[in-house]
Amino acid sequence: MGKQIILTEVGPRDGFHNESKILDTATKVALIEASIEAGFKEIEFGYFTNLEKAPSLADVEMVYEKIKHHKEVKLKALIEDAEGLSRAVDAGVKQVKMSVSASNTYNMKKFNMSNEEKLRAIEKLVQEAMSKKIQISCAVSTSFGCPYEGKMTPSKIDTIASRLVEMGIQEIYISDTAGMGNPAEAENIFGFFLDKYPDRLFSAHFHDTRGMGLANVYAAIKVGVRRFDSSFGGLGGCPYVPGGKGNVSSEDLIHMLEEMGYQTGIDLDKAIQIGKKLETIFEKPMNSYVLEAGKSSELIRT
């Protein structure tokens, strides 16, 4: 893929899920459509789960129905069980995503399932999704560290990833859910998986909890990763991680990639406008350097 980088905007799911202010459907749709207009070709728009787990995303069916659909744009939704898959199918969704942790303790806290129980549940969902021609991907969360079990190694993560490969899943996300990763680990972990499974797509999902998100992206790029999640305004987090903060900011990531000569196909100025709109909507500054300082090019006086 050379200099081309594919970014998935996860703010409409990961971001809104972790905000106390619940947005109305029209506002969510407008922000998703603005992201499409900016050039995002992959967007994680919602989460099919029960109201108690994600009250801010309870209108997921309505959001999907009201978005202006484009053939070249993939709209993905997170699911975690058969009911969620059924709702996604009924809504007409064609791409779904699941998650399982590399940490058994984290799986127990989030899903009340052991690693093995969660993997067996995922296998059934994969079979059902494939029978309905639904594209399915899966994230391995806490891959760079877990608050309950500590740091992870490539071989530990692979006890999960290898099973996902056996199930036939084509795209696997390696996720730094707790924001514990560093660039050396990013290079080591992604180097391992890209070398071992060259026929699979590996995407990176970094949180910027300790300010290393962009550095981790760069380290992953060095070993060949070309697919990354990001969130407008740096929204996001995780309720199961103490002190957890948002994802890598979309505006910051696009800005860095452009400065380095990579192509995302996304209009940075339009992405910045989305971030500024979010600051108005949520009445607070976003977790974005570019929103605060502007683009580097704006400092140049000719």
Q: Point out the residues that are catalytic.
A: 238
Output the CA angle 239-100-62, nearest 5 degrees: 65
- What does the alpha-carbon distance between residue 199 and residue 297 come to, in Å, rounded to a whole number? 39
Q: How far apart are CA 185 and CA 144, in angstroms?
A: 7
User: What DSSP state is assigned to residue 263?
Assistant: B
Backbone angles phi, psi at 44, to 5 degrees: -90, 100
Residues 6+ apart with CB under 8 A from 174: 139, 140, 143, 157, 161, 189, 190, 193, 202, 203, 204, 205
- Give, as one character, the DSSP assignment of residue 258: H
- Residue 137 backbone phi and psi in degrees, to 5: -130, 170
**Which amino acid appears at position 18 of this protein?**
N
- Residue 78, classified by CB atoms within 10 Å of its CB into exposed (0-12), middle (13-18) or buried (19+), is buried
Written as six digits, the tokens of 18 are: 């972790």
Token pair recorded at residue 157: 């993560």
